[in-house]
């Protein structure tokens, strides 16, 4: 703490305050987030682990972590200061002037690359919204506040994060299904929509109709001046079944909008066009890991072959050369070894081995009983919401419920300005009635989903 001078408090989030500080030695500005440390030991340990996880997320489009330390009962996380503030403020600043297409594409492409980096590490952001996306001095996008819900590790805060900013919550969450990588995609779809229209995609006068709109994937169409690819992308990102939503990898490499997005990324962003037919490639590191594993286990038998069998191999000096051959039967050890571990997950998650709340299980996919999503309909939640006095339960800086009742979010239209348009204008997700596509692209989901339905019930009963 003594290494920094406190300049000013820049905001107060649900987890604590954010302070602009100056490093005494370098004179650089940083943001220091102060989070109240939980009293109980396991939660405390978890908070520390999450801080370590944050430190591993180094990427040009993720707010850089500088250091974390504990002072009194606070966990202080020092991070890069994004001087142009958050994207929500930037959107609000536009008033009614739409962003130009280049800006929309550039910013959205950058946030996808940042979020993909997190997903590549098998970590979910879980709270993507324009308020958590920042702009630097030179107009670069940075994803921030990642993991904050887990740092606090308070189930009440979890519920508040999801419920308190419901504009970005994917339908599966309202439907009591696990959070997965496509839930982050949904939230990014909301941010993209906001960039395109300066409005929330799902806006309603009551909680019930808001949730229904989300669960139906019903949103007012984008302005017709925007290219077809963007319309298509938004439609796909708002597919109500997460399995039908494209992953960030797909969005950046093989979606109809990919080309458009890639032209707005610098070549060093490392997003290459996908070659058709080769969607699930191992990268070099993964391949080497498998080879090492196979080598370590001496899975191949070495035997000497007769010279005539492989004439080309014996040409250097005439001596038969030992060649490695697979045994006729697959070796027991390879079968056991491959069955007992997932070579891929090791390399992907080694940096954050303790982050059980955010990471997919290391069990190999084929052995892990895939959790079946409960077919529980959102009715349970809806009746809960109907009974609850929601205005107080959900009072956060984002959700203000005025005296006259309508839900007012930061990008809600002024009262009387029903920019949502009449019902027929609303695009609903018709494809939910069609046969589903396969869910190869839904790579992972949270291990221990927060039972936030239970949390919501508890919150209401505490009112």
Ligand X SMILES: Nc1ncnc2c1ncn2[C@@H]1O[C@H](COP(=O)(O)OP(=O)(O)OP(=O)(O)O)[C@@H](O)[C@H]1O
Please give the positions annotated as active site. 127
Q: How far apart are CA 222 and CA 144, in angstroms?
A: 27
Q: Name the token pair of 350.
A: 């080694």
* Pick 35 or 185: Cβ nearer ligand X: 35
Contact between 136 and ligand X by CB under 6 A: the answer reads no
* Pick 63 or 388: Cβ nearer ligand X: 63
Q: Which of 61, 116, 125, 131 binds ligand X (CB under 6 A)?
A: 131
Pairing state between β 74-80 and 65-71 = antiparallel
Contact between 86 and ligand X by CB under 6 A: the answer reads yes
Q: Which of 14, 98, 209, 431 binds ligand X (CB under 6 A)?
A: 14
The three-state secondary structure class of 102 is helix
Q: How far apart are CA 337 and CA 91, in angstroms?
A: 53
The three-state secondary structure class of 407 is strand
Q: Name the token pair of 177.
A: 């299904």
Min separation Cβ 159 and ligand X, Å: 13
Q: Name the token pair of 155.
A: 């189930």
Q: Which of 6, 10, 71, 272 binds ligand X (CB under 6 A)?
A: 10
Number of residues that bind ligand X (CB under 6 A): 21
Q: Which of 4, 81, 219, 452 binds ligand X (CB under 6 A)?
A: 81
Q: Name the token pair of 214.
A: 């989300």
Query: Under rule CB under 6 A, which residues in 143-162 are in contact with ligand X?
Result: 144-145, 148
Tell me if 301 is assigned to a ligand binding site: no
Q: Which of 13, 201, 217, 409 binds ligand X (CB under 6 A)?
A: 13
- Contact by Cβ (8 Å): 436, 243: yes
* Pick 13 or 166: Cβ nearer ligand X: 13
Min separation Cβ 15 and ligand X, Å: 6
- CB atoms under 10 Å from CB of 125, counted, come to 27
- Contact by Cβ (8 Å): 248, 119: yes
Residue 395, phi then psi, degrees to nearest 5: -75, 105
Min separation Cβ 99 and ligand X, Å: 19
Contact between 378 and ligand X by CB under 6 A: the answer reads no
The separation between the first and the last C-alpha atoms of the chain, rounded to the nearest angstrom, is: 37
List the binding residues: 33
Query: What residues make contact with ligand X under the rule CB under 6 A?
Result: 10-11, 13-15, 18, 31, 33, 63, 79-82, 85-86, 131-132, 134, 144-145, 148
């Amino acid at each position: 703490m003594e290494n920094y001078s406190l300049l000013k408090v820049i905001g107060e989030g649900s987890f604590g305050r954010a302070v602009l500080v100056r490093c005494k030695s370098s004179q650089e500005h940083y943001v220091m987030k102060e989070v109240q440390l939980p009293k109980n030991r396991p939660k405390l340990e978890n908070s520390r682990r999450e801080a370590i996880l944050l430190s591993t997320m180094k990427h040009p489009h993720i707010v850089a972590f500088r250091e974390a330390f504990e002072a009194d009962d606070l966990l202080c996380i020092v991070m890069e200061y994004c001087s142009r503030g958050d994207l929500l403020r930037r959107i609000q600043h536009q008033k009614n002037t739409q962003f130009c297409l280049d800006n929309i594409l550039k910013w959205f492409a950058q946030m996808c690359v940042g979020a993909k980096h997190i997903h590549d590490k098998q970590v979910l952001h879980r709270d993507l919204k324009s308020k958590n996306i920042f702009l630097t001095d030179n107009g670069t996008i940075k994803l921030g506040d990642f993991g904050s819900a887990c740092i606090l590790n308070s189930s009440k805060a979890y519920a508040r994060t999801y419920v308190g900013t419901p504009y970005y919550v994917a339908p599966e969450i309202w439907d009591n299904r696990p959070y997965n990588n496509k839930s982050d995609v949904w939230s990014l779809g909301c941010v993209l929509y906001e960039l395109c229209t300066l409005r929330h995609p799902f806006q309603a006068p009551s909680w019930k109709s808001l949730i229904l709109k989300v669960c139906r994937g019903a949103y007012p169409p984008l302005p017709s001046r925007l290219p077809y690819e963007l319309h298509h992308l938004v439609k796909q990102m708002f597919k109500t079944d997460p399995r039908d939503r494209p992953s960030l990898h797909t969005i950046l490499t093989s979606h109809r909008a990919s080309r458009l997005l890639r032209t707005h990324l610098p070549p060093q962003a490392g997003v290459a066009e996908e070659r058709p037919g080769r969607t699930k490639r191992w990268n070099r590191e993964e391949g080497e890991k498998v080879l090492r594993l196979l080598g370590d286990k001496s899975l191949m038998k070495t035997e000497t072959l007769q010279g005539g069998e492989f004439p080309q191999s014996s040409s250097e000096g005439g001596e038969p050369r030992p060649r490695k051959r697979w045994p006729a039967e697959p070796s027991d050890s390879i079968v056991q070894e491959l069955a007992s571990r997932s070579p891929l997950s090791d390399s992907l998650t080694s940096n954050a081995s303790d982050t059980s709340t955010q990471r997919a299980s290391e069990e190999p996919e084929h052995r892990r009983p895939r959790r079946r999503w409960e077919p529980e309909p959102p009715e349970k939640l809806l009746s809960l919401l109907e009974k609850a006095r929601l205005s107080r339960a959900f009072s956060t800086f984002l959700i203000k419920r005025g005296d006259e009742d309508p839900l007012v979010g930061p990008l809600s239209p002024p009262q009387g300005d029903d920019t949502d348009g009449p019902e027929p204008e609303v695009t609903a997700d018709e494809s939910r009635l069609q046969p589903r596509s396969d869910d190869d692209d839904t790579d992972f989901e949270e291990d221990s989903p927060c039972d936030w339905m239970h949390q919501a019930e508890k919150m209401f009963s505490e009112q």
